Amino acid sequence: MNGIEFRNVTKRYGADKNAPLAVKGISFEVPVGTLTTILGPSGCGKTTTLRMIAGLESPTSGSILMGGRDVTTLGPAERNVSMMFQSYALFPHMNVIENVAYGLRMSGVKKDEAAARAREALRGVGLVGFDERLPSELSGGQQQRVALARALVLEPAVLLFDEPLSNLDARLRREMREEIRALQQRLKLTVAYVTHDQSEALAVSDQIIVMDHGVIAQRGTPEQLYGRPESEFVAGFMGEAMVFPAVAEADGSVALGPLRLQPRYAVAPGTVKVAVRPEAWRIGAADATGGLPATLRKSAYLGSFYEYGFDTTLGQVFVVSTDLSSPLAAGAQATLSLGAHGVSVVPGA
């Protein structure tokens, strides 16, 4: 059963038929009880997509289904959806309980019951003992929890987040994203979550949809997107892959300088590109055979790993090594080879 389904949805803002499409015919499903992130650079259409799920924008063409029902022409109130915005916009003159109870009051729930349910939702997000405070008397993380409780208290079939953590510092972001994920799994919520932070997407998602200029560049599990990017754009967006020109041979192998790779799926002979994660490189002794000769130019110690920059015939190669026991010094000679993970052949000229 799909919580959300898009069928060939496009969106053009305004009445001008020649205006460019913000969303150019996208199709995807978010199964009930799962979390999908929509990931991509600024302006690629993430918020537009989310607003169409919420019913705050209507598609120019295509259809949207929720729980198997066509909701394309329904307004936000008829969709059983809650949305938590980037700026979580609590009502400044209302205390915490009133903020959380507001939506329930609006839909006709009696004051005492609304307050009781608000208190319950606040407990669910770990915010107890702040009921009477105003938003201005809370930290950013606490305000975030109030906003989350306010979205949850309505018990929506679908919960939407638009960059919910962007106002928080790094540590709080990590904490909150873990809590959102835990809550989503505990309550089996159907969630669409917009972010432009790939590590956030990898950490919380069942499915990631990468968008680029209004189209879906690729969608799949975090493992598929990180480990098997199908384009240079996705490889570059999902972490720090370096992309090298390479040649696909008639026998199906790919030559990357002196290295030979076996692609996971067949590629036509000719020019291709190979995307390599910095942690995919193996550093061997200088006299090892069959690898890529390399000279260490620079190194940086990052606590749990080293970052190395090697000069090679393929150009500068960036390598992450978790071998802390035998660090290399600048000028060291080595031979680089590739492990099985983090190497992808992508089409390209």
Binding footprint of Mg ion, residue count (CB under 5 A) = 1
What would you measure as the largest C-alpha separation in the chain, in angstroms? 78
Closest CB to ligand ATP among residues 48, 144: 48
Closest CB to ligand ATP among residues 159, 275: 159
65, β-bridge pairs: 5, 70
What is the number of residues in the chain? 349
**What is the identity of the amino acid at 79?**
R
**What is the identity of the amino acid at 291?**
G
The entry of ligand ATP, Mg ion, none near residue 282 (CB within 5 to 8 angstroms by kind) is none
Per-residue tokens: 162: 């638009």
Chain positions 43 to 102 lying near Mg ion, rule: CB under 5 A, are 47
Strand 23-31's sheet: what is its strand order? 23-31, 2-11, 61-66, 69-70
Closest distance between Mg ion and the C-beta of residue 151, in Å?
Answer: 17
Listed ranges 39-47, 93-101, 241-249, 286-294: which one lies at the site for Mg ion (CB under 5 A): 39-47
The entry of Mg ion, ligand ATP, none near residue 13 (CB within 5 to 8 angstroms by kind) is ligand ATP
Closest CB to ligand ATP among residues 28, 281: 28
Closest distance between Mg ion and the C-beta of residue 83, in Å?
Answer: 12
Closest distance between ligand ATP and the C-beta of residue 70, in Å?
Answer: 23
Closest distance between ligand ATP and the C-beta of residue 11, in Å?
Answer: 8
Side-chain half-sphere exposure of 8, counting CA atoms within 13 A: 2
Closest CB to ligand ATP among residues 13, 91: 13
Read off the DSSP letter of residue 332: -
Closest CB to ligand ATP among residues 13, 301: 13
Q: Say if strands 35-39 and 190-195 run parallel, antiparallel, or are unpaired.
A: parallel
Sign of the alpha-carbon dihedral angle for 212, 216, 218, 221 = positive
Q: Which residue is nearest to Mg ion (CB)?
A: 47
168 CB neighbour count, 10 Å cutoff: 18
Distance CA 108, CA 94 (A): 18
Closest distance between Mg ion and the C-beta of residue 46, in Å?
Answer: 5
What does the angle CA 121 – CA 29 – CA 197 come to, to the nearest 5 degrees?
65
Asked if 195 is part of the footprint of Mg ion (rule: CB under 5 A), the reply reads no
The entry of Mg ion, ligand ATP, none near residue 22 (CB within 5 to 8 angstroms by kind) is ligand ATP
The entry of Mg ion, ligand ATP, none near residue 344 (CB within 5 to 8 angstroms by kind) is none
User: Kind and range of the H or E element at 140?
Assistant: helix 140-152
Closest CB to ligand ATP among residues 47, 144: 47
Q: Which of 73, 82, 124 is nearest to 103 (CA)?
A: 82
Binding site for ligand ATP (CB under 6 A): 13, 22, 40, 42-48, 196
The entry of ligand ATP, Mg ion, none near residue 37 (CB within 5 to 8 angstroms by kind) is none
Read off the DSSP letter of residue 95: -
Residues at the site binding Mg ion, with contacts judged by CB under 5 A: 47
